Amino acid sequence: MVESPQALLYEPLDAIDPDAPINKNTDPELVLVKQKPITSSFRTTIKHLQSKAGFRARFRGIALFVVYSILLSMASTVLRVFPFVPRGTAPVFATVLPANLSLAWTHIVISDPSPKPWFRRLPAARVWKKVAGPSAVLAIAEQLAVLIPEVVAIHAGLFNVNPNSAADMSPAEKRIMALKGFGIFALCAVLGLILVVPANVTLTRVQASLLSDDEESIVPFDRSFGGKVIPEIVGGTGVVGLLDAWKTFDWSARVRLIKAYVKIFAMQMALSILFIGVAVAELILVVGKSDINKVISGPKDDKFFITS
């Protein structure tokens, strides 16, 4: 989301052979070579991290991330208790309030290792207002990506299906139900792609624009964001705007990001299938292969009690 590969400009050296074509050119042109992004693959990214701080570089900022996640969950839970807080707004307020913690975590991740502990790298309180807006945009996008499919699923009747009667559905009804479920999944994916991803990228790039000048970035990126960031010392805000943060995120970086999301999703699916396979194998060992269908389908009688 941050890296902007640097382009190298150099003049070709003369060849040893005096008759080489490069030597016959009296006015050689400069050659522009664009470096391959470090984040083009997980392998190159991890190797780069290891070269900076060894094996533990994978977990840089994890302590602050845990603290931020706990505070986010607690704030959201507390806000939901109040009846005057509308549904869906509690996570938004909970995300905005500790926005400085998210900012500090991003700075730890995108900068070279520092001997300072995470609590000494927290930004000043006045910086909060610069990231509060983008944080709210991301939280709202996440809520829309959840609430819209939920409303559609309710109107599609997916929440009114009785699991006990699902086995008695006709093949046509099962196909319709499967298509509805696939449609909801596709809607979630589309909303995540057009709402959550741009909002997340925008927030991250806004946070990156606030990285202190005395901290070196772990990957190369244009701190001026194409001249869009005007330092406060000359009367600017010192931070990139929301629209500029997204517009300066070029298509090659967008493709790299989507590929990364696809790889992560594939790994999660592979792990889910593996764990499901292990769970089914353990179930077969415990209850026996002949009774596995009864356990999966559940009891037919409402008067069913689990006894030891």
pLDDT in tens, 106-119: 999 999 988 889 99
Query: What is d(CA 149, CA 8) in angstroms, rounded to the nearest whole number?
Result: 47
pLDDT the model gives residue 307: 46
Higher pLDDT among residues 58 and 196, named by residue: 196
pLDDT the model gives residue 11: 62
Could you list the beta-strand ranges (E) of 48-178: none
Instruction: Tell me the mean pLDDT in the region 162-170.
Output: 68
- Give me the percent of the chain exceeding a pLDDT of 90: 52
Q: Which domain holds residue 12?
A: 7-249
Whether the Cβ atoms of residue 210 and residue 103 lie closer than 8 Å to each other: yes
- Give me the percent of the chain exceeding a pLDDT of 70: 81
Whether the predicted pLDDT of 308 surpasses 80: no
Per the structure block, which two tokens stand in for 219?
A: 């990957």
Give me the residues paired with residue 31 across strands.
10
Asked whether residue 210 is domain-assigned, the answer is yes
pLDDT the model gives residue 265: 92
For residue 244, count other CB atoms closer than 10 A to its CB: 19
> Is residue 12 classed exposed, middle or buried when 0-12, 13-18 and 19+ CB atoms within 10 A define those classes?
exposed
Asked whether residue 106 is domain-assigned, the answer is yes
Instruction: Tell me the mean pLDDT in the region 226-251.
Output: 89
Asked whether residue 2 is domain-assigned, the answer is no
Residues in the chain: 308
Asked whether residue 275 is domain-assigned, the answer is no
Confidence of residue 52 (pLDDT cuts 50, 70, 90): confident
Asked whether residue 76 is domain-assigned, the answer is yes
Higher pLDDT among residues 174 and 101, named by residue: 101
Whether the predicted pLDDT of 103 surpasses 60: yes
Asked whether residue 286 is domain-assigned, the answer is no
Asked whether residue 304 is domain-assigned, the answer is no
Question: For residue range 179-189, what is the model confidence (pLDDT) as tens digits?
Answer: 988 999 999 99
pLDDT the model gives residue 20: 54
Number of domains in the chain: 1
The mean pLDDT value of the chain amounts to: 85
Whether the predicted pLDDT of 51 surpasses 80: yes
Cβ neighbors of 153 (< 8 A, separation 6 or more) are 159, 180, 184
To the nearest 10°, report the CA torsion of 84, 90, 92, 94.
120
Asked whether residue 260 is domain-assigned, the answer is no
Pairing of strands 31-34, 7-10: antiparallel
pLDDT the model gives residue 292: 64
Question: For residue range 68-96, what is the model confidence (pLDDT) as tens digits?
Answer: 999 999 999 998 888 888 878 899 999 99
Whether the predicted pLDDT of 236 surpasses 50: yes
pLDDT the model gives residue 299: 57
Question: For residue range 250-306, what is the model confidence (pLDDT) as tens digits?
Answer: 999 999 999 999 999 999 999 999 999 998 888 888 877 666 666 665 555 544 444
Which amino acid, one-letter code, is at 155? Answer: H
Angle in degrees, CA 142, 143, 147, rounded to 5: 125
pTM above 0.75, yes or no: yes
Query: What is d(CA 85, CA 159) in angstroms, rounded to the nearest whole number?
Result: 25
